[in-house]
Each structure stands twice: as C-alpha cells, then as structure tokens.
Chains A and B, each alone.
Chain A
Amino acid sequence: MRLLERAGFGAVPGQAEALVPLGLVGAVQSLTQPSGSAVLSGPPPTDDEGNPIAPADAWGHDHLWWLDRMVRSNQPLVERMALIFHDWFATSLANVSKQQQMIDQSNLFRSHCFGSFLDLFRAVTIDPAMLQWLNGNENYKWAPNENYGREMMELFSLGADRGAYTEDDIREQARALTGWRNDWSGEQGAYNFRFDPNWHDYGDKTVFGQTGNWGWEDAPRLCVENKFHPSFFVDKLWSYFVPGPPPDGRREELIGTYTGSGRQIRPVLETILLSPEFYEGPPMVKPPVVQLAGMLRALGRGVDTEAWIWLCEEAGQRLFWPPNVSGWDDTRWLDTSRMRARWNLVTYALEGISVNPWSDEYSTTETAEEGLDRAIASWGTPALREEHRAELLEFAQRAEKLVVAPWQKGPYRAMRQNALLQLIGVSPDLILQ
C-alpha cells in the first residue's frame, strides 16, 4: 500500500492485489518502467456543467487537467515524479504568460522523469516557462541577469551554504546562460523563444575553477559534475519519499548508484523504493492534491467540478502556482486553515456518495457495525489504524442511541453514514501516506 501511495496516488479497488504476484522488485519496476504512453481510463474531466475542460485557456483548468491525470493515468509514478520535479524546479504562473507553457513544462517533466538528470536540467534551463519565471529571457551579454544562474545551483543542483559555489560562480554562470530571448504579442504573450548569438557572451567564463567559452549547455553540466551535486541530488529525491535524511550507508549506496549510472534518475528511484526505510519508516503528510487524487480514485469519481481549483488553493496547493521558486514547504502542509480546507475537500469529494438523510430510503435497522463497514467500503477499504476504527465504531453506536422517536430511525442512520464517510476522509489514515 505504501508503495502505491507514495509512488502514485493510492490504489484503485483491486490494484494492490494485482501487484502482489509480482513481488516487491516486480511491483517497483511496474511503476518505474512503464511501457508506451500513459492510458487514461474513466470519464474525462469536465467543468460543473459537464463541458470538457479547456486547460490552456480557462482559468484554473490547467489545475484540473493535471489533477485528472493523477486520478486516471495508468502510469501514476510518472505523474508523481512530474509533481516532484514541478516542486524541484518550482515555476509559477505568477510570472509565465500562458497556461499552455506550464502544461508544456509539466510534460517535459513527464518525458524526462526517469532518465538522465542532466538531460532534464538542460531541458528545464531553456524551457519557455522557466525562461520567463527566472528571467532567462532577459539575460543578455550587456547586462547579465543572475536569477537563474543562482537558483540553478542553490535550489536545483547543489544547495546553499555547502561551499559548492561562490558569488563569482553565479555571475559567470549567468554569463554562460546569456542569449535566450523571445517575442511578445498581445495575442500570444511570450512566444518564439530562441537562442540569439548576438545576445550571447562568447568570452571565457570561469565556473568552479574551470575556464572555457561556456554556454547554456555547459552551465547545467558543470553543476552536475560538481562534486557536491550527487549528495544533493540523492538527498533531495529521497526527501520526497521518506521522512528524515537517508542513513549514511544508504546515502553512500544511492550516491554510488547515481554516479555509477551516469546520473540517471531511475536507478536511484528504484533503490529508494526498494529500501527498508521506505517501508518501515514513519508516515508522511500527503500533499493536498495527492490526497485529493487518492480520494477520487478510491471513491471511483472523476474530475467533474471546478471547485477543486479553489479548494486546493485553500488547502495550500494550487498546481502551477507554487509559493515561490523553492516549491512547497512539505513541513507545513497542515494548520487550522489548511486543515479546514482538507475537511472541505473531503466534503466535496463525497458529493454523490453521501446519502440524503431526508429521502426516506435509508435503512431504519442498520447496525453500528454495518454502517461502519458500508462507509469503509465506500472509501475502497483503506487500512485504518485500530484506534481510529474503534473510535468510528463508538461514534456509530453513540449516534444510534440518539434515536428517540420512530421518525428519526432512518434519517439519523443516514446522517451517521455521512458522518462516518466524512470522519474516515479526515482521519490521519487518509491524510498520511
């Protein structure tokens, strides 16, 4: 279960059972080595009126578009890795002119998520959304802009305060990256991104003590060849899957795997997903969209409302709008505001699954145990901690005792069912992975 939760968005009914015969290695590889392109099964996403979504054009539909892929793709780890790299190379629509450019960037993450980190890094470096976000398109030889040059080392590949680079290295990297530009129009926003030799600084630059006529392809290469990079990479990737840093032996193993494979992402990922710490260590709080996608999968519901846009925003994770270039803060997913938003996410997710207390149709004889079993089954039978199950059962019994008049028998049981569904959704079992 943990594998499906952390390397995807939780199981759909029957999925966990299907993985069992593969064994652990086979199960991991079924996720890290998907074949062909992703298949999306189930009803396609719509707005509240049932119209198809317009991810490139309609406000917030980019968020719905990705949420839908999380819910429906048969390659969940690809979506999860794309989300990880969206956080790693956090780019926001706050400074990007078109939703399509954000979608394109996420597709870049999908296509590179298991391959060479250098290939990914290079692709991101000249990605139109990133060029706008960190001013790579305003970086020319007459006045280099250091924004990307700094973040590519501090946040993307080496880490701050480790002695990996100096302020001079930042300036020289910025010079190496000069030359990218684009055009503007009222219709298209930023478009026609291209390298303009006239904007590029062809002089020698010295980065990490190496001097050469470095260009945009060299800047990321110099970073990944820096001796501080492998430990940064494995620690950062690890942090998305296991709370706390890797134990020393594991870190050495991961670094060895990374450098030995020519800095490929997949082998490191497989090592993490096969490590005992992944399975035996403590739980982590799910990011809000991960919890939501998992709930929709478990409930068998597609993306059919625009409410997910603002509900996810309130819960702290609007896709394509990370809070800043360092991404979301995974240590602060929950406070009273975010927790209330998660409660309301659950309420909305249960639309169509909750029952109508006043329909006169609900059982007037259902027992507490039967009510609880029904609610757990509606959620796709998630594993609940024993003390939570006991509390739910106690609630179900207390609720039954509230019936004092015959007319209350059905309605109160229906409300009990709705309350059980709600409580399971907001229980630590569904918030943690």
Chain B
Amino acid sequence: MSPRKHTCCDGFTRSQLLRNAAAEAGKGLPAIEPGMPEPAGTGLSRRKFLSRSAGLALAVYGASKIPLSAFETGIAQAAQNEKILVSVFFDGGIDAMSVLAPVGDPKYSQLRPNLGFAPGAGPTFSEDTRLQWHPAAAGLATLHGEGKVSAFPAIGYDHPDQSHFTSRHYYEIGELQVGYRTGWLGRYLDLVGNDENPLQGLSLDGDLSPMLATSNVPVAAIDSVDGYELWSRTEDPVESEMFKSFARFGSLPSDSPGLMQVRRATSQTDKLRQDLAGVGDFSRPVPYPETWFAHKLAGLAAYINVGLPLRVVTIRAAGGYDTHAEQAADLAGNLQETCEAVLAFQRDLEARGLADRVLIEMWSEFGRRPEENGSLGTDHGAAGCAFVIGSQAKGEMVGEFPGLSSLDEDDNLKVTSDFRGMYCSLLEQWLGYDAEPIIPGAAGFARPTLIKP
C-alpha cells in the first residue's frame, strides 16, 4: 500500500504546494499571490509528541505554552463518548455531475458526449430519478438505500469562485472571506475543547487540515494509524531474536559521541517498540479493501473503539479529483477506492456499536463544468456535491438538482444549497453547539434537517 499520486493541473499543483506549505506551520508562511487568500492554519507552531496513552506519534499544533507532558494526562482524562464528525475531502473539485449523473436531463448527453453515462449504467438515485449514481459510488448508493445518506446535489455559495485555492479556503473557514486564520472546525474546538487534548481535532493525512486550525486549543496530525512499529520481513521467533541484537547494538560500549548518539537512539527505540507493542495493531471486525485510504479509516474506527477522545477528524479522500483530462478512469478509480472504504468504515462502526456516535461529511471545493472539455476532462465549475452519512443521518436530499437547461452566467451548474447552512446544521444538530459564534452570519442561513429526529 502506498499513498496515491495526484494528477493535476499546474494551478492545482501550486495550490497543493501552498496547502502543504500552510500546514507545515512553523516553517514560515507560504507565499501568497496578491488577491489570493492566505490559507487558514498558518502560524500555528508544531511540535512532535509521542503519546504513550494513545500509542501515536502526533504532530501537535498550537497551544505552544502547554508542556507536552500535560497532553498525556489530557488525553487520558478527556471525555470519550462525544459525538464525532469525520470530514472527508475530495481534493481538487470532484465532478458532481459524475457522482450523481443527471442522465435523465435532456441536455446531459449533449454536454457530455464522451464522458456521459448511459442510463442504467449505475444505480438510480431514488429521490430524483433524473439522477443516477456513478457505478464507482456504489458504496454510497447502498448506504443511501438504507436511509443513511443526505445528498446535496448542488451545494456551493453565491458568486462562486473557481480557484481551487480560494474556494477551498472558503469551505475550510466557513466564510466567504480571505485572511481567516482559523478553520470552522477549529473555532468549534476553541469553544468546546480543552487545552490538554490535541486528539480533539485530528488530521489523518500527516499535515494539519486548515479546517482544524484553532486559536487556542491544541490539535494534531498523524502520519500513520499504525502506532510505533518497526517493519521487517521476518516473523517470530526469528524476529524476536533480531530485536535482541538490535537492542544489543544500543547497549555496546561507545568510544565517540557520534557512536554514543546512535547507541542511545537505538536502545530507546527498541524500548519504545516494546512499550507500544500492539497499540497500533488494531483489529478489523469487518473486511476493508486493501488500500491506504481504507487502512486509515480502519485505524480510525479502532481508535474510536478504544475510546480516544476525538471530536472532529479530517481525511482526504483517496487520490485527486482535479480531472482536467482523461477523467473517466481516474475518477472511477479514486471514487471507488473512497466509497468502498467509507462503506466498510460505516459497517465497522455498526459492528462495533459505534455508528450512532459518528457522522461523516464528504465535500469538495467546487463541482466541475457541465460541458466537458476537449481533453476528455472537465474544467472548474460552480455547484458541487456533498454528502452527510451515518446511522443518525436524516437521509434526505438537501436542495434540488437545478437541471442543465438553465446554467449560471459562466455556464456552470447553479447552486441550490449553501455550504454554510450545512455547517450550521452539523454544528447545531449533530455537535450540539450554537453556530452563531462559529459561522459568520449564521442567522442568515437556512438549516436543513440533517439528523434523524
């Protein structure tokens, strides 16, 4: 298993770099082009911390005045039964018109002569039979059939911005502005979280999602869900003997500072390996696909199961979705990898009796242009799709599919729901916190009902 590669346009590569830079907080601020917003999440200090109670090597962000040792206690003492929101980000602007393809719209085949799906190629979307699920999104279709998916077929905001960077920034901060340094989930954590539990906001992608950038409380990112393992191509009993010799390398006499440094690190590493043995060795009550993304979700389910004090978790969907060319194969592969894993994750939570505590939100920074381009791909568009998934999800579509006969002034899909309304509902109905101090202008957004009564 290895992290999947992104294929993307130049502009996206750049925004990817900037994002990467932004999340590498403490390494200097990224270059910002005039007129482009600074990403949230910059300016947080980052420290490495190995939590023995959690069995994880954490990159902890923010709250630099707190001694690392306090986190150990904080993690152990924090409440372990909070509601959890998992954000899954389709990075690059997923083609909403492929995920829920409007095969019943008379203009569809004209706009998508090459990329369009034939009617019946995927499961019909029962709430609007003009739409049909991408065959690779079968996992979502299954959960939708069980009433566990609320779909937003055309989500966005007024005057949509078609820059990956700007639009994503809006979604991350929960506001149509540039220059915010905190994310919408970070502001929630600032209000409900505490100073000593960095696991309350956790990114599973190695770097911190700007959504989680806080002002006050610490949050964390992890490189791997696998704990502290030393990989080898041996098995017991040979492996145990191997580690005995490794430990011996650490305890032999030294005749120079350099050698002593290696020996000390060797012996500490071996000790920690033993102390943390088995922590990252989680079980899987249900089968997961053999992919990196699925592996991370399997780890997350296990963390929730052992009672790690999580509140909001972010992860990037498998692969990249900036499909300017040769869209069909890339999108199908990445979407399938993502949806199969999400289905397995939901089944895992159900099997462990945790499904009522976890809600998944899937989103992207925008949708793509209804009319396909000349490279068998699609360019940046406006309205996109989002999904709220879970046993407690209402399972009812929010905002209608606007149809292809009337597009906006840039020939893009019109928006029929506002992402900030979705955020307000998630905060108030799921996380149980008033959206007013978190989402600017919250009073002005209609709250769709996202949770079962």
Contacts and interface: CB of A to CB of B under 8 A. Distances in A.
Interface of A: 47-49, 57-59, 92-99, 132-133, 184-187, 189-190, 243, 282-285, 305-307, 310, 313-314, 321, 323-325, 334-340, 343-344, 347, 350, 354-355, 357, 387-388, 391-392, 394-395, 398-399, 402, 412, 415-416, 418-419, 422-423, 426-428, 431-432
A187 B10 contact: yes
A265 B242 CA distance: 46
A282 B21 contact: no
A93 B21 CA distance: 7
Q: Which 10 A-B pairs have the closest CB atoms?
A: A282-B256, A419-B242, A334-B265, A415-B238, A395-B245, A418-B233, A415-B234, A339-B265, A339-B269, A94-B27
B222 to A, nearest CB: 11
Given A132-B31, A422-B232, 13 more contacts: A58-B6, A94-B24, A97-B14, A186-B11, A189-B33, A306-B5, A307-B2, A340-B228, A343-B230, A343-B269, A412-B238, A428-B262, A428-B263
Nearest to A430: B262
Contacts of B234: 357, 415-416, 418-419, 422
A347 B233 contact: yes
A305 B2 contact: yes
Contact of B13 (A59, A92, A344): A59
Contact of B31 (A95, A337, A339, A388): A95
A187 to B, nearest CB: 6
A336 B20 CA distance: 25
Interface stretch (B246-254, B332-340, B351-359): B246-254
Contact of B237 (A59, A313, A402, A431): A402
Interface string B181-213: 000000000000000000000000010000000
A58 B31 contact: no
B227 to A, nearest CB: 11
A189 B359 CA distance: 38
Interface in B225-280: 228, 230-235, 237-239, 241-242, 244-246, 248-249, 252, 255-259, 261-266, 268-269, 272-273
Contacts of A133: 28
B106 to A, nearest CB: 35
Contact of B11 (A96, A187, A391, A432): A187
B163 interface: yes
A185 B11 CA distance: 10
B444 interface: no
B3 interface: yes
Given A94-B24, A132-B31, A399-B238, A432 B5 contact: no
Given A92-B28, A422-B242, A336 B13 contact: no
Contact of A432 (B20, B239, B258): B258
A125 to B, nearest CB: 18
A74 B262 CA distance: 30
A92 B21 CA distance: 9
B5 A402 contact: no
Contacts of A98: 14, 17
B242 A285 contact: no
Contacts of B2: 48, 305-307
A96 B28 CA distance: 10
Contacts of B239: 415, 419
A427 B249 contact: yes
Nearest to B232: A422
Given A283-B259, A357-B235, A184 B242 contact: no
Contacts of B252: 387-388, 391
Contact of A59 (B17, B257, B262): B17
Contacts of A339: 265-266, 268-269
